[in-house]
């Protein structure tokens, strides 16, 4: 991994990311690892202990595509500041971010953490590990494609407003899913978004969208771009780039965006 490795990760980084790095049985192997762990009893009701066990698997067994402790700290600090009542994540994988962030949402007085995950097996792992961490009352795992789930939760009245949105699923889905949330009025002034992996692998269309002015968004909106969903170009965004590290020690960053109002 050469010069890309943060020296702070020496000896403690996750295993390197192989060509096939998920959905090869490792997620169920993680579940067996955690539930067969000698410290299982200490994990019950203790989110940090469960996260430590997931990290231990990533370091000693196989790479896992989790946000990891470094970038998670950035989002936890954001949760502490924003104090979201409702937080939604797009892409849950094995529940690392759900456990880290739902615990922070709960500590900040929040009520609900929705984890939207399209792989049913991964969703089952999230449920089992969040349950072990004592987060059963706050974490709701929804199996299915993110856009379909957002529409259904909105239509059924289960989800009315998103205070904090964490985007960590299929990279080309970030912009259309955000636009869908805008159209459904799930987000608006006061909402905050944290988008992962904006360096590795990168997401130029998303960065361009959240960094545009209302004027620029309106021009694009009116220029015949009929791709659906079309979003709400009137939302004013302030966006910043926060550097961090993948748990494997590779540099990456989060884009933190705040909706500060509605433009003229
Ligand atoms: C990078 S992993 C998420 C990691 C997790 N947020 C964490 O840090 O612990 C991406 C996840 O998004 C899921 N995914 C990808 N596209 C999706 C979609 N359109 N809807 C729901 N889940 C999706 C994948 O199955 C995978 O589990």
For residue 13, being part of any structural domain is answered with no
State the distance from the centre of ligand 1 to the C-alpha of 108, rounded, in angstroms: 25
Q: Which domain holds residue 252?
A: 66-262
Ligand 1 near 197 CB (within 6 A): no
Report the number of distinct structural domains present in the chain: 1
Which pLDDT belongs to residue 7?
42
Which pLDDT belongs to residue 248?
87
Ligand 1 near 257 CB (within 6 A): no
The pLDDT confidence band at residue 111, using thresholds 50, 70 and 90, is: very high
Average pLDDT of the chain, as a whole number? 94
For residue 33, being part of any structural domain is answered with no
Ligand 1 near 146 CB (within 6 A): yes
CATH number at residue 202: 3.40.50.150
Ligand 1 near 67 CB (within 6 A): yes
Q: Average pLDDT of 104-114? A: 98
pLDDT of 57 over the 50 cut: yes
**Global pTM exceeds 0.85:** yes
Which pLDDT belongs to residue 8?
47
Which pLDDT belongs to residue 264?
80
Which pLDDT belongs to residue 249?
87
For residue 44, being part of any structural domain is answered with no
Ligand 1 near 116 CB (within 6 A): yes
Q: Which residues contact 146 (CB under 8 A, 6 or more apart)?
A: 90, 91, 116, 118, 169, 173, 177
For residue 104, being part of any structural domain is answered with yes
For residue 16, being part of any structural domain is answered with no
Q: What is the pLDDT of residues 71-103, one digit of tens each?
A: 999 999 999 999 999 999 999 999 999 999 999
Determine the residue of 118, 129, 146, 166 to mutate for testing ligand 1's pocket, defined as the one with the most ligand atoms within 8 A of the Cβ atom: 118
pLDDT of 11 over the 90 cut: no
Closest residue by CA, ligand 1 atom 26:
93
**216/233 Cα distance (integer angstroms):** 8
Q: What is the pLDDT of residues 138-182, one digit of tens each?
A: 999 999 999 999 999 999 999 999 999 999 999 999 999 999 999
Q: Which residues contact 229 (CB under 8 A, 6 or more apart)?
A: 176, 179, 180, 182, 183
**91/203 Cα distance (integer angstroms):** 15
Which pLDDT belongs to residue 223?
85
């Amino acid at each position: 991994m050469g010069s890309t490795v943060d020296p702070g990760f020496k000896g403690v980084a996750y295993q390197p990311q192989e060509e096939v790095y998920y959905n090869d049985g490792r997620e169920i192997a993680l579940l067996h690892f955690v539930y067969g762990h000698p410290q299982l009893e200490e994990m019950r009701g203790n989110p940090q202990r469960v996260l430590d066990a997931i990290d231990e698997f990533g370091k000693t067994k196989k790479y896992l595509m989790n946000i990891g402790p470094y970038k998670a700290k950035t989002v936890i600090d954001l949760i502490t500041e924003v104090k979201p009542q409702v937080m939604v994540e797009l892409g849950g994988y094995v529940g690392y971010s759900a456990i880290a962030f739902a615990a922070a949402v709960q500590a900040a007085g929040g009520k609900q953490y929705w984890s939207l995950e399209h792989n049913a097996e991964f969703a089952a792992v999230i449920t089992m590990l969040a349950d072990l961490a004592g987060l059963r009352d706050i974490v709701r795992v929804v199996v299915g494609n993110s856009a379909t789930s957002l529409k259904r939760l909105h239509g059924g009245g289960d989800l009315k407003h998103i205070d904090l949105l964490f985007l960590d699923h299929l990279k080309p889905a970030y912009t259309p899913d955000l636009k869908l949330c805008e159209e459904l009025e799930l987000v608006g002034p006061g909402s905050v978004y944290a988008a992962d992996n904006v360096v590795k692998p990168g997401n130029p269309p998303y960065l361009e969208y959240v960094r545009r002015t209302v004027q620029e968004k309106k021009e694009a909106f009116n220029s015949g771009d009929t791709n659906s969903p079309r979003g709400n170009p009137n939302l004013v965004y302030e966006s910043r780039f926060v550097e961090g590290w993948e748990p494997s020690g590779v540099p990456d960053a989060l884009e933190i965006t705040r909706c500060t109002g509605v433009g003229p």
